[in-house]
């Protein structure tokens, strides 16, 4: 009986984690769409590389080190960086942000 309870608890825990990850992914997708439509042409593709300071699960002090896109994509990438989960990383990180275009 205890093993059935443990298995059920494990399954419920896994479902809770996966649904949380799905919710986070959906939130990131919505934030990316919002940042892109706010700052740049959603039909164009671009690639932007940011250098940011990571700490406390967030990115801050982001600066653009490379931008292959038209006007507005650098601002869109910095906007998206505010929503990216960074986990327990700390220090300087380089972050490629790609916008596929066609939207």
Q: Which pLDDT value is given to residue 70? A: 83
* Average pLDDT of adjacent 10-residue blocks, the chain of 103 residues: 40 39 71 90 91 94 92 94 89 92 77
d(CA 42, CA 37): 6
Which of these, 99, 102, 103, lies nearest to 46 by C-alpha position?
Answer: 99
Topology of 2-99 in CATH? TolA/TonB C-terminal domain (3.30.2420)
Domain regions of the chain by residue span = 2-99
pTM (predicted TM-score): 0.72
Q: Which pLDDT value is given to residue 33? A: 87
Quote the DSSP letter at residue 8.
Answer: H
């Amino acid at each position: 009986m205890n093993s059935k309870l443990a298995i059920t608890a494990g399954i419920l825990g896994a479902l809770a984690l996966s649904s949380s990850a799905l919710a986070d992914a959906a939130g990131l997708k919505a934030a990316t769409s919002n940042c892109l439509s706010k700052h740049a042409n959603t039909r164009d593709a671009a690639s932007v590389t940011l250098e940011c300071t990571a700490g406390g699960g967030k990115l801050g002090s982001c600066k653009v080190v490379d931008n292959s896109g038209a006007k507005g994509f650098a601002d869109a990438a910095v906007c998206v960086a505010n929503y990216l989960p960074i986990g327990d990383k700390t220090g300087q990180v380089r972050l490629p942000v790609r916008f596929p275009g066609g939207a």
